[in-house]
Chains A and B, each alone.
Chain A
Amino acid sequence: MSTQTTPGSVDAYPCPYCRMTGPLSERGNCRTCGAAAKVHQLVSGSGWEELPGAKDMAHIQFGRSHVQVAGSFVPVADFNLHNDDRIWFSHHKLTFVESSVKLVNYKDGKSFFTRMMAKMESYMLQATGPGHVALSDNHLGEIVSLPLNKGNGMWVRSHTFLAATASVTYEPTANNLFFSVRKGDETETEYPLGRFDDVFYAPNEPGLLLLHSPGNTMFRDLKPRETVYVKPDALIYRDLSVSTYLTAEYPHAERSIFGSGYQNRNIWLQLSGPGRVAISSKYEKEFVPLLPIVDGTIEIIRW
């Protein structure tokens, strides 16, 4: 992997972030994910590396079209669609559109039930070029570009999806990362990640998947059987080769004289390699007060 790179000097830059190889843009960004070319090691002592995200004004090329990222707090993905090139997205993300772009409801052939399992909007939009259409999320964060080779897939946490090219599709996948908690007559099920999440893949030709990651994004490559615990809601994406498991940790030091101490437990998502994982520095708060676990596949650790 090249770590000393200058714009224009490399025709085949192997991007450590999106794992694609190609020439750098004139601004010194990777053409397929918009990240600035890596010239310094940014790996923390623990092995996490900051995923730079697509930089302000970076161009990301896909097919004959490209997307330009504008802004740095809540960045906007400004697509310049070539004739008949298509992207699909949720209408909540739409920022502006030129009149030359054709907007229609996106028909992906999935049933209402499948979309519900995938936590996708029932009514998605499809934009067809030529012209500009721009999308943005509603949280501070950064745009993460995941170019997908033909036949490749990526597990993605629900609600981080921003847009995808027409060649990318999704499939809700059972992830068994949920349990039930109960307070009185009320039961909270499918906590914290739910029964299903999405696997995006490009079945027939390469495609581009854009995510909006709240906060800052870090990633690392786990070696075979290497394990790390993360906040469940912090996970943004992972390779399909990474295995996952929920763990509840009850620190002895935090237990009170009144017993269970579940208010002080930590819920972790255990990630085991091999493969790439990315997490966000912003995650949902656990609902308060935490309640006893009554059901679910979860490992309990007390110490």
Chain B
Amino acid sequence: MEVIVCSWCRMNNAASALQCGSCAAPLDAKDKVSDSGWREAPRLKDMEQFKFGNSTLQVEGKYVPVAEIALEQGDFVYYEQHTMLWKEPRVELHQYTLPGNRRAHGMPYSVLYANGPGRIAFSRDAPGELVVMPIHAGMELDVREHAFLLASHSVTYSFVRIKGLANLLHGGNGMYLDRFVTQKYPGMLMLHGNGDVLQRTLAAGESILIEAGKFLYKDSSVKLDTVPVPGVKTGWFSKLYMAQLTGPGRVGIQSMYHHHLSE
């Protein structure tokens, strides 16, 4: 049987499909890759939907998109409490137990999980795009704080402390990165990137300098360092610091780093 492999999540789809069944990426549109190798994250079309577990996620809207989920019995998603837009009364909410002392060390929002059956919707209060990150079994993805919108139950939440004084003081990513891990089963992780989201895959040892505030996510195999640019000043006593990411692995950036609240 002829299949189309989704270039974003690598899942097989029927030859007649117009959008990927597991990440909603359009299959009928050519990938947009710039000359420098950055690929635009697939723009999820308004009202597109895809399955995860037995549940269905539908994307609504274009500028500040909403992720609406029809949760089936036995499925659950977890999320930061303030990103919930609405829910049906029958959807049960519970406190999600954060690992270790994560909340005490900088996770300012409660993390909840929602149990099916029922419908529930999420959005972040900023213009941008939703990115469905394909997380296959045995993968680890590091995400900047508060970019995460929701994750399915098979994805384990963890965190890593950013090491090094320069990283902490000049990195712009706070003290922690959220780490999402899958064990035996694949999972679904949805991020919200401010502005446009671009991804590039770095070869082993390949490096790139990124404005630290525009870093969005990376594979855990990618090394993150904050380095000064030699000879460049941004004030009387301040240097220009950038995030140096060294492969191998994927790197995602967002084109807008201020969190502009929608008005």
Could you list which residues of chain A lie within 8 angstroms of chain B, going by C-beta atoms?
A: 56-57, 68, 70-76, 78, 80, 91, 94-99, 103-105, 122-123, 125, 132, 134, 136-140
Contacts and interface: CB of A to CB of B under 8 A. Distances in A.
Given A70-B34, A95-B211, A140-B127, A105 B256 contact: no
Nearest to B256: A74
Interface in B224-253: 229, 231-235, 240, 242, 253
Nearest to A70: B34
Nearest to B210: A96
Contacts of B128: 73
A68 B35 contact: yes
Nearest to B198: A70
Contact of B232 (A72, A75, A105, A132): A105
Instruction: Identify which of B35, B43, B127, B129 gathers the most chain A CB atoms within 10 Å of its CB.
Output: B35
A123 B32 contact: no
A125 B253 CA distance: 21
A93 B32 CA distance: 22
20 contacts: A56-B40, A68-B36, A70-B196, A71-B195, A72-B196, A73-B128, A73-B129, A91-B234, A96-B210, A96-B214, A99-B208, A122-B235, A123-B233, A132-B36, A134-B38, A136-B214, A138-B258, A138-B260, A140-B127, A140-B260
B56 interface: no
Nearest to B229: A103
B207 interface: yes
Contacts of B127: 73-74, 140
Contacts of B233: 105, 123
A68 B198 CA distance: 14
B50 interface: no
Contact of B211 (A70, A78, A94): A94
A95 B234 contact: no
Contacts of B63: 73, 140
A123 B34 contact: no
